[in-house]
Structure 1
Amino acid sequence: MKGNYSEKTEYSPEMRIFDTGGNRLYLNQSERERFLEAAKEESRENHVFCHTLHYTGCRPTEALELSASRVDLVDHAIVFRSLKKRRYDNQGRKKKPAFRSVAVPERLIDDLDLVFDLRTRTKDKSRRVEPLWSMGRQTAWRVVGRVMARAGIVGPQATSKGLRHAFGVSCVMSGMPLHKIAQWLGHTDTKTTEIYTTIIEEEDRGMLMRVWE
């Protein structure tokens, strides 16, 4: 078992990775690979949008805010404004926007640069802060749904949230520290992130099956 997670964990009540019927709400490895492949049949803009969701675990609305100024071409990272955070603190004061940086594969940065000509945009003061994608969130959800269908992924996990959960699950299964996963996903409290540690139980099956080999 990877990672060092407590057995007595209180999970955030609003987070679920299985629905009430016991169905997965996250994509498994095979589904993630099929999603990435199916996205290649979309337009260049939609293709790289889907890959951005997959490799960062961001929400579609967070991706749609991205501009050239938020893509680090040197260190291969993308900076997101974390949404769904409380706008006011306990004293009623308005909080400043929260941002997070997520490292991504170099090939994703190359694709973003190729599709949106980031190097040229960054030299223009007005264009460097313009959103890369012009579609709205409803269209973005339809793009993800279409790619899921093309990949043969059906069920409650076939959503953009399923991709976000898949990112968290993959990080936990790779032994990444919870506080880092929380940071990459934009979670305020690691209790929200700890729900992904329940997937470690899948490793128990692998260990048990080795008994019968």
Structure 2
Amino acid sequence: MTQGTYSAYDSEGHRKYLTLAEGKRFRRCASRLPQDQASFCLILYFTGMRISEALALTAMDVDFSMCVLRVRSLKKRAKKEFRRIPVPDSLISALQTIVESHAEGPLWTFSRSTAWRIVKRVMADAEISGIQATAKGLRHGFGVRGALAKVPLNLLQLWFGHSQATTTAIYLDVRDEEERELMQRTWK
């Protein structure tokens, strides 16, 4: 397990990502919110986007026919760079109403700090605490789910908007659930 800045764990070995069970609870609690807030939270969960990237989405960024979101990589300020992230049909359906009511401008009109508070409230409702109970924890959780699902590293890198594969590779180190499953075989 790698630790430090580019790691799925902090310097004390605490995980920065949501487990599959925590993710399920987050989704369940998010679905109880008003539709605009629920869809915002689910976009963070299903895409690993940064809050600022999700808040920058417009109706033009939603491709309903391909079930894809076009995301501007905001960390690359020097040049305009976009990535396309596939999303579940259910999320695309939920976005239909949001897009219809926000044909011009951003899909969500709340501020970054309000978005952060919404995520924190859902985390609290889902009884998730610790360093992973943040939007960044959702981003890390997306990477971990991708690694556990054996999504090719180059695709994860593309979806994250990472310029270096080594940045994305931190999620390959995360095998807690797989390791436990293998270890359980020795307990019989």
Q: 1:116 is matched with which residue?
A: 99
Distance 1:86 1:134, change over 3 A: closer
**CA shift for structure 1 position 202:** 4.2
**CA shift for structure 1 position 201:** 5.5
**CA shift for structure 1 position 79:** 0.5
**CA shift for structure 1 position 17:** 1.3
RMSD: 1.9
Report the TM-score when normalising by structure 2.
0.93
Contact 1:77/1:101 (<8 A) preserved: yes
**CA shift for structure 1 position 172:** 0.4
**CA shift for structure 1 position 205:** 2.8
Amino acid at match of 1:66: L
Report the TM-score when normalising by structure 1.
0.83
Q: 1:180 is matched with which residue?
A: 155
Q: Identity over aligned residues, as a percent?
A: 41
Moved over 4 A (4+): none
Which of the numbers 77, 80, 86 marks the counterpart of 1:103? 86
Alignment of 1:158 onto 2:133 = yes
2-structure distance, mates of 1:115, 1:131: 10
> What secondary structure is seen at the aligned counterpart in 1 of 2:84?
strand
Paired residues in the alignment total 188
**CA shift for structure 1 position 46:** 0.5
Distance 1:12 1:30, change over 3 A: closer
Q: 1:38 is matched with which residue?
A: 29
Contact 1:12/1:191 (<8 A) preserved: no
Q: Which runs of 5+ in 2 are unaligned?
A: none
Q: Which has the larger radius of gyration?
A: 1
> What secondary structure is seen at the aligned counterpart in 1 of 2:174?
helix
Deviations 1:49-94 (A, max 9, x none): 000100100001000000010000100000100121262xxxxxxx
2-structure distance, mates of 1:155, 1:12: 17
Deviations 1:129-184 (A, max 9, x none): x1111111111101100110011001110000000000000000001111110000
Contact 2:3/2:11 (<8 A) preserved: no
Q: Which runs of 5+ in 1 are unaligned?
A: 1-10, 88-95, 122-126
> What secondary structure is seen at the aligned counterpart in 2 of 1:100?
strand
